[in-house]
Structure 1
Amino acid sequence: MNLNLSNIGGPSRLALVAGALLLASCGSGGQDAQKKNGRGQSGPAQVGYVVVQPTSVPMVVELSGRVTAFQSSEVRPQVAGLVQRRFFTEGAIVRAGQTLYQIDPSLYQAQASEAQANLESARATAEAAKIRADRYRPLAKMEAVSQQDYTDAAAQARQANAAVAQNNAQLRTAQINLRFTRVPAPITGRIGRSLVTEGALVTTNQADPMAVIQRLDPIFVDIQQSSAEMLALRKSLAKGGLAPGSATVRLKLEDGSDYGRTGTVEFSEVVVNANTGTVTLRARFENPEGLLLPGMFARASFAQAIDTQAFLVPQAALSRDPRGNATVYVVGPGNRAAARTVVANRTSGANWVVTQGLAPGDKVIVQGTANLRPDAEIRPVPATTPQRIEAPKGKAAEEAAAKNKGG
């Protein structure tokens, strides 16, 4: 500090010099106190720890899926003809057996009438043949007619009965075709738009359906999981340490919102898709409001397994190096900080799920980790203990008081 005191009188000059020396001594004393006490108190840094124990943690996976109708039926004609009338409203709910279309029945009514007439003719012929065979039977015994004549008459009666059966089958076929001119709904569900109009010609072998009916409540969500992930899961289950998870599924819609209802996994496919390398898991959801529609994409999350030997560590306790390796500090021998490299690939709520690197009973440091270094001396306390900052004592207290007085 440089002061120009040449223009100041004797007493005033002495007062200024004394004040400057006092300020200098206060500043140097405060700096020395900070150097000695570090953070304002002596001794090792206090840290908070939690004791970890293995627990059961669900392995929740989130996979993409697509909504699929519970039932789907294409309405197709079983006879050919012109569509005379449509009986449903597009987009409405239709019931199984409800008539949807009327195909012109004229030709099929005529065929049924012809089959009925042929049946009556065959019955008359069969009756005459039976009477003739009955008459020949006693005559053949008396040898009034030859045995061959009786045999021919009996054979003609049996042929006539067979003709009756044939014509009866033809009549039933004609009646069925006549009934098919009224096209019914195969299932109960919501019907889409009509793909044919009144006056259109439909055939039994046409490529396009007349309409499509889909049952949307309940509804399926087909979830895709890679075969590699499923294989790894099955190996882990076989080795132990993992238990099968619950089948409850939660759904996140395309806009990011959660679907309010939970579903259940119905089954898993037994083959792998050769094009995508995935296995399909099918989940079933209730859909009374019709919010889920076939073709929608969604994200499904569910606990596929339960890790029974995992550790839950608060996220504040874990840090990662530039390579992404996870590290935590534990209370080591002699109350010194010990760094542990752990495996933590996923989270559960506010905790990291550590699967390797920790042992039961380890004291993981969760408070005061900012300036920790390996093998640093620490004063561990349970994480619930509040941090205490004590007032300085002895010489440090005198220096602090002098600093405050000088300030």
Structure 2
Amino acid sequence: MHNNPNRFFYPLITGLAGAFVLGACSNGNSQQAAGGPPPAPAVTVVSVRAEPVPQTMELPGRTAPYLIAELRPQVGGIVKQRMFAEGSEVKQGQVLYQIDPATYQAAYDSAKANLARAEANVQAARLKAERYAQLVGIEAVSKQANDDAAAELKQAQAEVASAKAAVDKAKIDLDFTRVTSPIAGRIGRSAVTPGALVTANQAAALATVQKLDPIYVDVTQSSAELLKMRRDLAEGRLQRVGGDAVPVKLVLEDGSLYGSQGKLEFSEITVDQGTGSVTLRAVFPNPKGELLPGMYVRARLAQGVNSDAILVPHGALSRDARGNATVMVVNGESKVESRIVTAAQSHGEAWVVTDGLAAGERVIVEGLQKVRPGAAVQAQEAGAAGAPAPAEAAAAAAK
């Protein structure tokens, strides 16, 4: 009979395994009893309140000159001289082009000579008519001769009037050989050079003068938005600001804000059938010439004051899969709710919420990554001891 050496190790192995299992169960039971459920996460909230906020709208538009004049010749001839520098400022009445005046000067001199001859004929006709008027009384001349003398005087007087009109016409044509600027402003490039032949009332302009200070900004607004604004004003949801002069601010193409504030001049009375929009025109001071005609800009119009607006920090608002604006709200049971809201516009570092929130509700601004709808939380008001200030909370929520 052979001795089996493993029989001495089986009891030892079995005993050690049992001790290990008992120890593990004992440790697990003690940890479970000591730990319990995890604590509710802490979040920072802001209690929103209703406050008056200006209702602004940003609309696209383009700049347009305040005045514009296209220079065209009123008489034909050869351009003898250009009397301005392209791109310079010109004054009203300043001579810009000189057309060869020789033929027009000759026509003017001829018209004056014809006037002098007509005036001389009038003098002779008047003396004859006066003499015949005396002689017909003593029957020294016939009545027919007297009537003919009176008619000759009137004909001579008519010829004087016609000659004066011809002189005026010749003087106007002579003056038109000096092409002047009808307005003060900045002149563009010249389309002709000295030696060029121009004709009266030609289609092509010689140059264009534009007044750029002040300058217009034409923007478009949809008719639906205009109707909504008027309805909100009529029903009291918006309060009119600025009286009749609506202030306008301008955002330039590079995103910078234009230094001077403008005002709304007028609103078009008809709706464009193709776009369904209404054109609004604002006027801005432009003393330095920063704004040039045709620039694309965005105008911010203050259309009223929303007296019951609710502001929510930028970082507290997010978008769901459908693009809806949402915020996380802590309800009265200290549980999280996901709320769909309407963010009408941005105001400073906050969104203006017009629907979905009521004054006094608590919006989570810090700790959003730790919560989900329906979870219990420990809410602490922003700005309280141990909680970040509202601005800091909004910045932290945005990260």
TM-score class, shorter: 0.7 to 0.9
Aligned letter for 1:353?
A: V
Is the contact made by 2:248 and 2:282 (CA closer than 8 Å) also made in structure 1? yes
For residue 220 of structure 1, the aligned residue among 204, 212, 216 is: 216
Is the contact made by 1:220 and 1:284 (CA closer than 8 Å) also made in structure 2? yes
- Aligned to 2:294, the other structure's residue is in SS state coil
Is the contact made by 1:225 and 1:279 (CA closer than 8 Å) also made in structure 2? yes
Structure 2 counterpart of 1:385:
384
What is the rounded CA distance, in whole Å, between the counterparts of 1:284 and 1:208 in structure 2? 29
Greater mean deviation of Cα atoms: 313-322 or 209-218: 313-322
Residue 62 of structure 1 deviates from its aligned partner by: 2.0
**Taking structure 1 as reference, are residues 319 and 115 closer, same or farther at Cα in structure 2, changes over 3 Å only?**
closer
The equivalences for 1:289-308 within 5 A come to: 289-308=288-307
Question: Does residue 252 in structure 1 map to residue 248 in structure 2?
Answer: no
**Taking structure 1 as reference, are residues 201 and 373 closer, same or farther at Cα in structure 2, changes over 3 Å only?**
closer
Residue 239 of structure 1 deviates from its aligned partner by: 2.8
What is the rounded CA distance, in whole Å, between the counterparts of 2:384 and 2:183 in structure 1? 66
Aligned letter for 2:384?
A: T
Structure 1 counterpart of 2:169:
173
Residue 121 of structure 1 deviates from its aligned partner by: 1.0
Question: Does residue 163 in structure 1 map to residue 162 in structure 2?
Answer: no
Residue 378 of structure 1 deviates from its aligned partner by: 5.4
Structure 2 counterpart of 1:71:
67
- Aligned to 2:80, the other structure's residue is in SS state strand
The equivalences for 1:92-171 within 5 A come to: 92-171=88-167
Is the contact made by 2:44 and 2:380 (CA closer than 8 Å) also made in structure 1? yes
Greater mean deviation of Cα atoms: 171-180 or 364-373: 364-373
Question: Does residue 82 in structure 1 map to residue 81 in structure 2?
Answer: no
Question: Does residue 206 in structure 1 map to residue 199 in structure 2?
Answer: no
**Taking structure 1 as reference, are residues 214 and 113 closer, same or farther at Cα in structure 2, changes over 3 Å only?**
same
Is the contact made by 1:109 and 1:178 (CA closer than 8 Å) also made in structure 2? yes
Structure 1 counterpart of 2:236:
240
Residue 60 of structure 1 deviates from its aligned partner by: 2.4
CA deviation string 1:285-306 (max 9, x = no partner): 2223322221222222232333
Residue 216 of structure 1 deviates from its aligned partner by: 2.0
Residue 227 of structure 1 deviates from its aligned partner by: 2.6
Greater mean deviation of Cα atoms: 168-177 or 133-142: 133-142
What is the rounded CA distance, in whole Å, between the counterparts of 1:185 and 1:325 in structure 2? 57
Question: Does residue 270 in structure 1 map to residue 266 in structure 2?
Answer: no
Aligned letter for 1:124?
A: A
**Taking structure 1 as reference, are residues 32 and 252 closer, same or farther at Cα in structure 2, changes over 3 Å only?**
farther
Aligned letter for 1:133?
A: A
- Equivalenced residue count is 372
Is the contact made by 1:119 and 1:164 (CA closer than 8 Å) also made in structure 2? yes
Greater mean deviation of Cα atoms: 344-353 or 176-185: 344-353
- Aligned to 2:152, the other structure's residue is in SS state helix
- Aligned to 1:90, the other structure's residue is in SS state coil
What is the rounded CA distance, in whole Å, between the counterparts of 1:255 and 1:332 in structure 2? 43
What is the rounded CA distance, in whole Å, between the counterparts of 1:28 and 1:149 in structure 2? 150
**Taking structure 1 as reference, are residues 148 and 270 closer, same or farther at Cα in structure 2, changes over 3 Å only?**
same
**Taking structure 1 as reference, are residues 327 and 102 closer, same or farther at Cα in structure 2, changes over 3 Å only?**
closer
- Structure 2 unaligned residues grouped into runs of 5+: 1-7, 10-15, 388-399
Is the contact made by 1:46 and 1:387 (CA closer than 8 Å) also made in structure 2? no
Structure 1 counterpart of 2:49:
53
CA deviation string 1:215-265 (max 9, x = no partner): 222222221222332233223323330133553333233233333333222
What is the rounded CA distance, in whole Å, between the counterparts of 2:247 and 2:23 in structure 1? 75
Structure 2 counterpart of 1:398:
none
Scaled by the length of structure 2, what TM-score is found? Answer: 0.81
**Taking structure 1 as reference, are residues 336 and 253 closer, same or farther at Cα in structure 2, changes over 3 Å only?**
closer
CA deviation string 1:157-203 (max 9, x = no partner): 12211211111111011111111111112222221221111111111
Is the contact made by 1:48 and 1:385 (CA closer than 8 Å) also made in structure 2? no
Structure 2 counterpart of 1:352:
351
Q: Superposition RMSD on alpha carbons, in Å?
A: 3.4
Identity of matched residues, %: 49
- Aligned to 1:139, the other structure's residue is in SS state helix
Residue 354 of structure 1 deviates from its aligned partner by: 1.6
**Taking structure 1 as reference, are residues 163 and 276 closer, same or farther at Cα in structure 2, changes over 3 Å only?**
same
What is the rounded CA distance, in whole Å, between the counterparts of 2:251 and 2:343 in structure 1? 25
